[in-house]
Every structure is written in structure tokens, then in C-alpha cells.
């Protein structure tokens, strides 16, 4: 399974076990100043999606939405040259190779959805975690009116808003939740 650059060859047969492996190896890492690990955070986000009866695509998008933080785990040719370091873009590019746009696009838009919600929903901003308020400034702050219009015209923006709310809910310290292995069949089923 190893290529010459020691990164795995990823295809329909290998991507799901590889995603599980990344969660296993890298999942315990801290999540950007929050009190949950990366794996707990994404698994909690997926559990919120399931609890709300979200579509399978949104469940998978929630489960994998921060995979871009682990972009170094993927072969270089998985990412276009000159890619920026934004985890939403790298995550979406990784996912778009294996999953349809209704999974990769909400991931790409989930930071924009936060900037959108901060602009249109005053209660939303008040509920953000301190780390999330901090990153909002780095991400460009609240959207302007023009950006709001543009976002609302973008395909999959509603799923991105849904995902964003699960992302924000998935930060509960000590909450034990179904692990990624529970979603193995769904992850396989939803592949392109
Ligand atoms: Fe997240």
C-alpha cells in the first residue's frame, strides 16, 4: 500500500481504513484550544447530525469536516500545488477525490458558514467558544452584506450551515460518543 514517497495509495478500497487509521493515530491530538480531542470533536459533530436526522451526506461531512488538519497524511498529489494552509480547503480537496460534492462542499464552506452565521444571527455569535471567537478574527470576521449574498447563492451553503452548528456543538469535554468505526459502512457506501 506504500508508494515510493511512503504515503499510501488511496482509492475506494483503501480510503476508509485509512481514515479510520488517521483517527486512531492522530485523533487524540488537541483540538485548537478546545477541551476535546480532534477525534472526539468530529465524532461528536457527527452524533449531533445523526440526532437531528440530518442526511447521510451531512453526517459524513460532519464526521470528516476537520480532516484538513491532517492534510500531511495524504499524498502530495492529493493536494494541488500551492494550496493554502486553510484546513477547510485542504479538507474539501482531499474529500472531493472520494466523496460527492454534497459532502466535500459543506466541508469547504464550514468556516464561511461561521462568518455568515455571525453576521445574520446575533445569538449565534454569543454562543461561540472563546477559541472560536479568536479564530473568527483570523478567518475574516463577520461577513459583509455582499459576502452574505454571495454565500447564499453558493450551492450546498445550507448544508454547510447545518454542519457548522454541529461543529459548534461537538465540543463537550468528557462526552463519550460513537467512534468513527461505527460509521465504517456509511463511509464506504457514500464513496463516489
Ligand atoms: Fe470543527
**pLDDT of 69 strictly over 70:** yes
pLDDT above 90 coverage of the chain, percent? 77
- Nearest CA to 187 among 41, 15, 54? 15
Q: pLDDT per residue over 113-124, tens digit each?
A: 999 999 999 999
The mean predicted confidence, pLDDT, of the chain is: 91
Q: Count each helix (H run) and each strand (E run) in the chain, helices first.
A: 11, 0
Q: How far is the CA of 161 from the centre of ligand 1 (A)?
A: 12
pLDDT digits (tens, 9 = 90+) for 98-110: 999 999 999 999 9
- Distance from residue 3's CA to the centre of ligand 1 (Å): 30
Q: How confident is the model at residue 77 (pLDDT cuts 50, 70, 90)?
A: low
Please tell me the distance between residue 4's alpha carbon and the centre of ligand 1 in angstroms.
32
Cα(41) to centroid(ligand 1), Å: 7
Q: Are 157 and 107 in contact (CB under 8 A)?
A: no
Residue 46 CA, chain-centre distance (Å), reads: 10
The total number of residues written for the chain in this structure: 192
Query: What does the alpha-carbon distance between residue 19 and residue 132 come to, in Å, rounded to a whole number?
Result: 25
> 6: CA distance to ligand 1 center in Å?
28
Three cell numbers, residue 165 = 452548528
5 Cα: distance to centroid of ligand 1 (angstroms): 29
- Asked if residues 106 and 156 have their Cβ atoms less than 8 Å apart, the reply is yes
pLDDT average, residue stretch 139-161: 97
Q: Is the pLDDT of residue 57 over 70?
A: yes
CA of 54 to the centre of ligand 1 (A): 17
- The whole-number average pLDDT for the span 8-36 is 93
State pTM to two decimals. 0.93
Amino acid at each position: 500500500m506504500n508508494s515510493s514517497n511512503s504515503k499510501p495509495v488511496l482509492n475506494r478500497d483503501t480510503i476508509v481504513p485509512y481514515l479510520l487509521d488517521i483517527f486512531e493515530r492522530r485523533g487524540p491530538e488537541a483540538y485548537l484550544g478546545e477541551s476535546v480531542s480532534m477525534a472526539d470533536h468530529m465524532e461528536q459533530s457527527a452524533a449531533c447530525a445523526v440526532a437531528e436526522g440530518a442526511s447521510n451526506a451531512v453526517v459524513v461531512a460532519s464526521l470528516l469536516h476537520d480532516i484538513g488538519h491532517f492534510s500531511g497524511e495524504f499524498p502530495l498529489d492529493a493536494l494541488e500545488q500551492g494550496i493554502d494552509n486553510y484546513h477547510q480547503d485542504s479538507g474539501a480537496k482531499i474529500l472531493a477525490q472520494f466523496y460527492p460534492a454534497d459532502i466535500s462542499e459543506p466541508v469547504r464552506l464550514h468556516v464561511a458558514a461561521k462568518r455568515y452565521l455571525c453576521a445574520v444571527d446575533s445569538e449565534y455569535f454569543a454562543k461561540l467558544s472563546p477559541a472560536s471567537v479568536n479564530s473568527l478574527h483570523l478567518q475574516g470576521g463577520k461577513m459583509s452584506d455582499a459576502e452574505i449574498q454571495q454565500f447564499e447563492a453558493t450551492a450546498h451553503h445550507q448544508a454547510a450551515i447545518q454542519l457548522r452548528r454541529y461543529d459548534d456543538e461537538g465540543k463537550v469535554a468528557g462526552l463519550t460518543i460513537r467512534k468513527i468505526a461505527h460509521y465504517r459502512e456509511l463511509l464506504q457506501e457514500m464513496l463516489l
